[in-house]
Structure 1
Amino acid sequence: MNIIGLTGGIASGKSTVSSFFRQKGAAVLDADRIARELSEPGGKLHAEYVHHFGAEVLQSDGTLNRRRIGQIVFSDPQQKQWLDAVSHPAIRAELLRKLEQKRNEKQRLILLDIPLLFESGWDKMADKTCLVYVDESVQLQRLMKRDGYTRREAQDRIAAQMPLEEKKKRADYLIDNNGSLMDTVQQAEELWKEWIHGGLS
């Protein structure tokens, strides 16, 4: 059984690659999905966020206004530090619980889909790591288009992550997503064959 840590800068195409590996049969554990589940009403993080940020981060249906929280934390390093300190232990605990469950199911390949894989130190959970990357200019345009962010909002989110060149140095495998979808899928296909049939080098 192999455990791969998959990461990528925001709007780099990591989710596309993760979906490809899921379709191939990998058991995917998505840290962002876990974070969303924990911050839904009744989840472990929901009450903490509301208590800290106040009612301004609540929408009319009681769910969190994620964009408003993002505006707060990405413009104030202390708020970002608080958010990470509160959310990371809860997300990590749930991720480890699900990982143990997948181990017991004897899955051939487990993919840890974690945006802040290196920043959080969670790459230690994986046997090997894989980075999906694009040039920063492409990343900025994709993020603004995808999420409707202003240039400043997009730049703040990119700046909050580890520089791409540092991630490239740390990753065991790279997927260049600057080209076409077909190019990206071809790279992912080659890695899948290597991980499943050739083992991890």
Structure 2
Amino acid sequence: MIVVGLTGSIGMGKSTTAKMFADEGVPVHDADATVHALYSGKAAPLIEKAFPGTVKDGVVDRSELGKHVVGNPDAMARLEAIVHPLVREAEIEFLDKARAENRPFVILDIPLLFETGGDSRVDRIVTVTAPAQVQRERVMSRPGMTEERFEALLARQTPDAEKRRRADFIIDTSLGMDCARAKVRDLVSVLSADGHEKRRTEAD
């Protein structure tokens, strides 16, 4: 089975692209969704211990947590040390299930693929991109977003140009939904064929 890492900086359209793969029947493991589930589950007491006052009624208050970690590298590192191993556990369970189902390939939707070393765990990389001005307009239109927060988030992410350079495939979401969906369908065909070929080679 081929493991494909899907990544892209904030505002590039990665989540929308991940849904397009899911709509084509491809198993997608969403790291953000996993974190969201962990924030109301096993990660909540660990985060409350590290950052008192950030958990309300058993659920991490993301806004309150953000006050502790955004722009604070040491605090962010403490948070990641709690969350990343739990996300990795869920990812392994997902991969085991997909292999048992003989899937030719799967998508790991990982926003910080390069930043966390996740690129070492995948066979192919798809980077979702858009021009910088489009990215800025998308992000700044989000509720509660400020210029300072946007810049802090960008500072934590590998530059888009570097992500594109290291990608096997690139999807530009600024060209419209139909264009992005066509590209996804092309990749599903290519990656399915590659996955079946890999399985035959390993069987031989």
TM over 0.5: yes
Q: 1:198 offset after TM fit, Å?
A: 5.7
Q: Which digits, 9 at most, give the CA deviation of each residue in 1:128-175, with x for residues without a partner?
A: 110001223222221121343112112211221111111112111111
Q: Which residue of 1 aligns with 2:171?
A: 175
Calculate the TM-score normalised by the size of structure 1: 0.89
Calculate the TM-score normalised by the size of structure 2: 0.88
Q: Which digits, 9 at most, give the CA deviation of each residue in 1:75-104, with x for residues without a partner?
A: 211111111122111211221122112111
Q: Which residue of 1 aligns with 2:31?
A: 31
Tell me which moved more, 66-75 or 162-171. Answer: 66-75
Q: Which residue of 2 aligns with 1:58?
A: 55
Match of 1:45 among 32, 43, 46: 43
Q: 1:197 offset after TM fit, Å?
A: 3.7
* Counterpart amino acid of residue 169 in structure 1: R
Asked whether the 8 Å contact 1:177–1:184 carries over to 2, the reply is yes
Q: Which digits, 9 at most, give the CA deviation of each residue in 1:19-71, with x for residues without a partner?
A: 1111111011111111111121xx2211111112111x234x44221122223
* Counterpart amino acid of residue 139 in structure 1: Q
Q: Which residue of 2 aligns with 1:10?
A: 10
Between the aligned residues of both structures, percent identity stands at 33
Asked whether the 8 Å contact 1:2–1:110 carries over to 2, the reply is yes
Say if 1:148 and 1:181 are closer, same or farther in 2 by CA, change over 3 A.
Answer: farther
For residues 61-76 of structure 1, the aligned pairs below 5 Å read 61-76=57-72
1:88 and 1:30 map into 2 onto residues whose CA distance is: 13
Asked whether the 8 Å contact 1:74–1:160 carries over to 2, the reply is no
1:132 and 1:67 map into 2 onto residues whose CA distance is: 26
1:180 and 1:154 map into 2 onto residues whose CA distance is: 24
Say if 1:151 and 1:8 are closer, same or farther in 2 by CA, change over 3 A.
Answer: same
Asked whether the 8 Å contact 2:104–2:191 carries over to 1, the reply is no
For residues 1-201 of structure 1, the aligned pairs below 5 Å read 1-40=1-40, 43-55=41-53, 57-59=54-56, 61-197=57-193
Aligned pair count reads 197
2:118 and 2:194 map into 1 onto residues whose CA distance is: 25
What's the secondary structure of 1:146's corresponding residue?
coil
What's the secondary structure of 1:70's corresponding residue?
helix
Query: Which consecutive unaligned segments of at least 5 residues does structure 1 have?
Result: none
1:188 and 1:28 map into 2 onto residues whose CA distance is: 13
